[in-house]
Amino acid sequence: MGKYEQLAEDIVKNVGGADNIVSLTHCITRLRFQLRDKNKANDEVIKAMDGVVTVMHSAGQYQVVIGNHVPDVFAEVNRTAGIEENSPISEEESPSQGIFNKLIDIISGCFQPMLGPMCASGIIKGLNALLVFLLGTAYSTSGTFEVLNAIGDAVFYFLPVILGYTAARKFNVNPIVGMITGAALCYPTIQASALSAANEAIGTLPAAGDYFTTFVGIPFVAANYTSTVVPIIAIISFAAQIQKLAKRLVPEILQNFFVPLFVMIISVPVGLLIIGPIVSMLTELLTQGFSFLYALSPIVTGLVVGFAWQILVIFGLHWAIIPIAMINITTLGYDTILVGQFGTTFAQTAVLTAMFFKMKDKNRKALAVPAIVSSVFGVTEPGIYGFSLPAKKPFIFSCIAGGIGGALFNFLGGQQYIIGGLGIFGVVSFISPSGDASGMYSSFICILVSLAVAFLLTFFFWKDDCLETDRTVKRTDSIKMSKEIIGSPMNGKIIPLKDLEDNAFSQGALGKGVGIIPSDGKVVSPVDGTVTLLFPTLHAIGITADSGVEILIHIGLDTVQLQGEGFTAHVKQGDKVAKGQPIIDFDLVAIEEAGYSTQTPVIITNSQELLETIETVKKEVKEGQELLTVLF
């Protein structure tokens, strides 16, 4: 069995099976599913899998955050589910989404497949610019420069061709037709510069300017579409509608070449004559709007972008900003919007480093190291989901530090000339094509300030509340053994953990314990302790005993789908509770009538850090009676 084969099989099973998957793509750290029915996906089981960081619902997608090895997991999931990589979504089977979610989904779907190669090209361009700065004119006129420049520049110059392919896959258009459409936009003799040089102006159109030629008598207002982003996506969207119409009208035996013929002969001219000029004017207005915002206050712009960036990343909404930055680079030669987020990577790195020094749990310290390394190179999701976000304060500190770094970088006049590498590789993105490296020097200042602010805030104002390691140290030093009696939180029949109907619980993935089939709808605290987790849907509650033992009570299976209906909490997160104190009431009949199992796992979630967990031998228990004995 391959390294990720079992993980892939478990993911496919718990997203509702292969039949529930409409399409699958991935970005740097996430599997991004389009599911027919998201209610079939089991969030809690997937989150608990070894190899999964967390699960997100965003932009109409079901996102499983994996980490740096996502390409390998992606390949295994595709093989397991029997789906084609980056499979397109037909409109008939695409889940309904709001306009904003659909827009984000389109943007991310078009850019995700090319993100890695685009960043690699950006690094090559940046390194070439660095060599020009270091070696001067002798290098900039050399063949080495020309070859590296061609490698680095090609993806950006012919961006409409590449986006033509990815957009065609997204809109279910023939990918080669998409590439040909993109190539037509880049064709040298119809570029605005070529037409204006070869012809005299025939006339002028309001808001569009001079035109130098016509197409079947229609004025052709040409533009330079090389390196552009939005026009090709809009044209391919239109081409998808033409393709659907052509498939209905053309006999199936002739569709192989007549459908592409009709798609190209209609969509390319319409794109060049109407869609391209209109979209270009709109993107120009958008660029001017952000330039106006930046002109009002570069500092405030950097502060807002830097503070909000990681929050946008969590929900996948940062895709709305990336195309704007690319438009700025195309039209202005540089961008100032993404400059504001540059410090966030290093803010997250510093937060994780400070947490590493203050963490008491050796296992978590060991896990923090790869998350720190990953963040240095621009992949922050493992650190966000695994460490800073659950701890709350460190994540807020990283946002504050990112905002300060962004404000400072914009104040120093930072300009980004390419969409280049992530993290530390991004510093070369701020070297101008002429070899001016002042922007790179400013990026170093941004890095240092972001690192310092995030580290100091976390180191001095965050406290690791984890008690387990303290208790372990004391036990080792004194060579003593203690025990905690866990009372039953409810009345009911005992069921062995292995017999539960949920794999995550039955296989012990979440810890040792037992299951209870409740006979009534009352839950009491099994120990004296603190409520450390109370799900918004009230179907699960976590209590940390005063001794440090952590107990999870999960009322029923898949009951998160009830969205809190039938559950009433008598406590809130952070409350101190006494053993036997009522904490939750639930409607037993309503759960059964809704079709959900009432099997209730009672789990010791930190059992791997304890000496032993012993289950009761009773077949039935009353609330408060001995259920588990924990040795530590």
Q: Is the dihedral of CA 138, 144, 150, 156 positive or negative?
A: negative
CB of 267 closer than 8 Å to CB of 238? yes
**Pairing state between β 582-586 and 61-65:** unpaired
Cα 159 to Cα 226: distance, rounded to the nearest angstrom:
7
* HEC letters along 588-632: HHHHHHCCCCCCEEEEECCHHHCCEEEECCCCEECCCCEEEEEEC
- Token pair for residue 73? 């997991």
Cα 289 from chain centroid (whole Å) = 27
Buried b (16+ CB within 10 A) or exposed e, 221-259: bbbebbbbbbbbbbbbbbbbebbbebeeebeeeeeeeeb
Q: Is the dihedral of CA 97, 101, 107, 110 positive or negative?
A: negative
Using DSSP's 3-state secondary structure scheme, residue 510 falls into coil
Indicate if 119 belongs to the active site.
no
E strands, 14-128, where?
21-26, 30-35, 54-58, 61-65
Cα 227 to Cα 357: distance, rounded to the nearest angstrom:
46
- Token pair for residue 180? 């040909």
**Pairing state between β 213-215 and 612-615:** unpaired
Nearest CA-CA partner of 84 in 23, 35, 39, 150 = 23
Cα 148 to Cα 141: distance, rounded to the nearest angstrom:
12
CA angle 15, 18, 24 (to 5 degrees): 75
Which residues are catalytic, by number? 27
